[in-house]
Amino acid sequence: MDRIAAWVRTERAKLRGMSLRGKLSYIVTYYWVQLALIAFALAFGLYLHSQMSVQLAENHFAACFGNTTAELGPDSDFGRGFAQYAGYDLKQKNLVLLDECWCHPGETSAFNNTYYNLLVTYLDSGTLDVLVMPAEDLAAVGQSGRLMDLRDERTAALFDAWQDRLIYVTPSAQSDYGHEPVPVGIDLAGTPLVGENAPYGDSAVLGISALAPHPEQAERFLQYLFEEDGACLISF
C-alpha cells in the first residue's frame, strides 16, 4: 500500500504543473496499455450483459457457433430460416443463436480465455443446447465432459440415425466419462455450414451440451441443415 500511495503522489506531482492537453498527452503516452485493457473489460462486460439477458425468458432452442465470422444470429437469414422451418413462435419464447465466440480450448491467452470462460458459463449453466465448432475445437470441449454422450437415452435416436457421422473423443482424466472413446459430435460436412465461402471451411461438428435443456430440438436443427426443405432457406 505504501508503494502505491507513493506512486500516486509522484504521478500527481508530475501532472500538477501541466496543461489539460499536457495531462491528456502524458496519460495516453504512458498508460495506453492500461486504458486499452479497461476499455476492453468494459466492452466485454456490456457484451456479456447483453448476451446473458436472453436467459430472462424461456427459449425454444439455444445454439452457439464458435470460431466463425458469419452472421448466424436469430435476425440473420439463417436464423429466420430456422425459426420458420421449426415453426417457433418467437413472441412466446426466444431462439438463441450466438455467433460471437472465438476460442481454442486448451490454448492460453487473455483473449482466448475470456471467450472460453464465456462458453463454459453457457454450457455449465444449462443455457446451451447445441455447440457448433471446427472438429479440433469441439473435440477439446468434448474431452472435458461438457458435451453429451450421444448414446444417452435423450439422444439415442440421433446416435442411431447418424452412425456414419459420429465424432468420438477420448475423455480427459478430469471428466466423468472414463477412458473409452465417447461419441460427442456429428460431422456437418455436406451442409451449407461447411465448404468454400461457407461459415466453416474444412470442417464443422455439432455437439449437444451435457446439460442441454432442449436436446430433442437438436434433431430438428440437423434436419434444417441436411434436408432440402431446410437447406433451401439458408444462403451465405
* Count of beta carbons in the 10 Å neighbourhood of residue 188: 21
CA distance linking residue 50 with residue 48, whole number of Å = 5
Element of type H or E holding 228: helix 228-231
Q: Which letter, b or e, does each residue of 30-67 get, where b requires 16 or more Cβ atoms within 10 Å of its Cβ? A: eeeeeeeeeeeeeeeeeeeeebeebeeeebbbbbbbbb
DSSP string, 130-179: EEEE-HHHHHHHHHTT-B--TTSTTTHHHHHHTGGGEEEEPPPTTSSS-S
pTM: 0.74
State the Cα–Cα distance between residues 140 and 79, nearest whole angstrom.
26
* pLDDT for the residue numbered 224: 95
**What pLDDT, on the 0 to 100 scale, is given for residue 56?**
44
**Cα 201 to chain centroid, rounded:** 18
Which pLDDT tens digit goes with each residue over 75-117? 999 999 999 999 999 989 999 999 999 988 877 666 677 888 8
User: What is the pLDDT tens value at each position of the chain, 236 positions in all?
Assistant: 566 666 556 667 666 767 767 666 766 676 666 666 666 667 666 665 555 554 446 899 999 999 999 999 999 999 999 999 999 999 899 999 999 999 888 776 666 778 888 999 999 999 999 999 999 999 999 998 999 999 999 999 999 999 999 999 998 766 666 678 999 999 999 999 999 889 999 999 999 999 999 999 999 999 999 986 665 556 66
Name the burial class of residue 180, with classes exposed (0-12), middle (13-18) and buried (19+) by CB atoms within 10 angstroms of its CB. exposed
At 1 the pLDDT is 54
Distance between start and end Cα atoms, the chain:
56
Q: Which residue, among 117, 91, 109, 131, has the nearest Cα to 212 in the 3D structure? A: 131
pLDDT at position 112, please? 73
